[in-house]
Amino acid sequence: MVRRPESLTGRFTSPLHDERVAAWLGIALGLSFGTAFVTGLISHFMQHPPDWWQWPSRPVGFYRVTQGLHVIGGLATVPLLLAKLWTVYPKLLRWPPVRSAGHAIERALILVLVGASLFQLATGLFNIAYWYPFPFFFPTAHYWTAYILIGALVIHIANEWAKVRRTVMTRPEDGVGRRRFLLTVAAAGGAVTVTTVGETFSPLARLAVLAPRRPGVGPQALPVNKTAQAAGITRVAPSWRLHVLGGEAELSLSLQDLHTRFPLHSERLPIACVEGWSANATWEGVRLRDILRAAGAPEGARVRVESMERGGLYRTSWVAPPHWHDHLTLLALGLNGSPLDLDHGHPCRLIAPNRPGVQQTKWVHRLVIA
């Protein structure tokens, strides 16, 4: 017979509503929310770097890995959190609800922790499913709630540390039921991982049945995030020119000029979307640094890449010196052996190493040196 802690006896007779299960799930959740916080901050500050900071352009796949961890890890956390809530909910229903001022604060903290955790996982999930049922701007809400969540989590860990330590260090009298429950939860997390991780880890692409995008699936064997049609781009006029402004010389380059006046290079680089999917591709194009140097850009300049797209949040992006000096950074004209598809940004698009997908601007028509 399993002896349950006094606080959890009563109507809730399953031995799984106990401190040992709660402790192990808590450790796993602490690790996964901690990872999500760090990788989330990386993603945020790559998209919004402070003035005094420039991200390096290497390692090439750094963002691909951190964002994959963020999204796949976040998805795998869903069963963990549900199991934890199920394990501890009898505690939430205990009577009287508040025993002292200290207890009231502790309960308020738990409420914030549970609310923020559910909010982060739900909004993250909706976002990668391209479903926006909420009235707020996802990145802002998800970003600020992360601080609330991590703050509440740190206090919670400090409160529970001694108890959790004691619990996991002692041997249970009968651990079979608990172990089976924890293994089931781990298996659920594993199942979520296996059915989604292929969206970024291409050897498992075929198993990624729950992922909205899969490597290899799309025009020119690459997924598309926003189609040309969705961006309001139906055709590119023959009079299209790439304008390079703000340097010593203004350039106006036709597609023909780009092909003939600069050396063409072929590089293998990933698109790594903020929403978690990523895929490697072979890009052919002109080095951004060759164009900028031809326009007389100062070596320390930043460059704004502008799309022909009229509206949209991602019609422009900034390129800092570490990225445009890198020989891997291209204005791509071709992809996987053929000219760039309109959906992938024809007539030319930016592709750079270690850069969030939202900043790999498509349908480029202007470079502004600042």
Ligand X SMILES: Nc1nc2c(c(=O)[nH]1)N[C@H]1C(S)=C(S)[C@@H](COP(=O)(O)O)O[C@H]1N2
Residues that bind Mo ion (CB under 5 A): 225, 273, 357-358
Closer to Mo ion at the Cβ: 87 or 359? 359
Closer to ligand X at the Cβ: 63 or 363? 363
- Which residues contact residue 135 at a Cβ distance below 8 angstroms, ignoring those fewer than 6 apart? none
Give the pair of three-digit tokens for residue 202: 């291409």
- Contact residue for ligand X among 26, 360, 367, 369 (CB under 6 A): 360
- Token match 């916080």: residue? 37
Closer to Mo ion at the Cβ: 4 or 213? 213
Site string for ligand X, 310-339 (x = CB under 6 A): --x-xx------------------------
Residue 314 site contact among Mo ion, ligand X, none (CB < 5 to 8 Å, cut-off depends on kind): ligand X
| Pick from 312, 314, 265, 255: nearest CA to 286 | 265
Sites for ligand X among residues 273-302 (CB under 6 A): 273
Shortest reach from residue 245's CB to ligand X, in Å: 18
Please name every residue paired with 284 in a beta bridge, in sequence order, or none if there are none: 266, 334
Distance of CA 277 to the CA centre of its chain: 9
Q: Does 224 bind ligand X (CB under 6 A)?
A: yes
Shortest reach from residue 210's CB to ligand X, in Å: 19
Residue 271 site contact among ligand X, Mo ion, none (CB < 5 to 8 Å, cut-off depends on kind): ligand X
Sites for ligand X among residues 231-270 (CB under 6 A): 231
Please name every residue paired with 270 in a beta bridge, in sequence order, or none if there are none: 280
Tell me the CA end-to-end span of the chain in Å, nearest whole number: 73
Sites for ligand X among residues 163-222 (CB under 6 A): 222
User: What is the C-alpha separation between 73 and 67, in angstroms, rounded?
Assistant: 9
Other beta carbons within 10 Å of 141: 15
Q: Residue 189 corresponds to which amino acid?
A: G
Give the pair of three-digit tokens for residue 260: 């003939």
- Contact residue for ligand X among 142, 344, 346, 355 (CB under 6 A): 344
Shortest reach from residue 360's CB to Mo ion, in Å: 8
User: What is the C-alpha separation between 88 and 9, in angstroms, rounded?
Assistant: 12
Q: Closest CB to ligand X belongs to which residue?
A: 357
Are the CB atoms for 223 and 213 separated by under 8 Å? yes
Are the CB atoms for 276 and 198 separated by under 8 Å? no
| Span near ligand X by CB under 6 A; candidates 41-49, 126-134, 185-193, 225-233 | 225-233
| Span near ligand X by CB under 6 A; candidates 82-90, 160-168, 172-180, 223-231 | 223-231
Shortest reach from residue 53's CB to ligand X, in Å: 22
Other beta carbons within 10 Å of 49: 13
- Contact residue for ligand X among 127, 307, 329, 354 (CB under 6 A): 307
251 three-state secondary structure: strand
Are the CB atoms for 21 and 316 separated by under 8 Å? no
Binding-residue total with ligand X (CB under 6 A): 21
Q: Does 361 bind ligand X (CB under 6 A)?
A: yes
Give the pair of three-digit tokens for residue 292: 């900028």
Shortest reach from residue 216's CB to ligand X, in Å: 12
Are the CB atoms for 279 and 216 separated by under 8 Å? yes
Q: Does 366 bind ligand X (CB under 6 A)?
A: no
- The residues that touch ligand X, with contacts defined as CB under 6 A, are 222-226, 231, 271, 273, 307, 309, 312, 314-315, 344-345, 357-358, 360-363
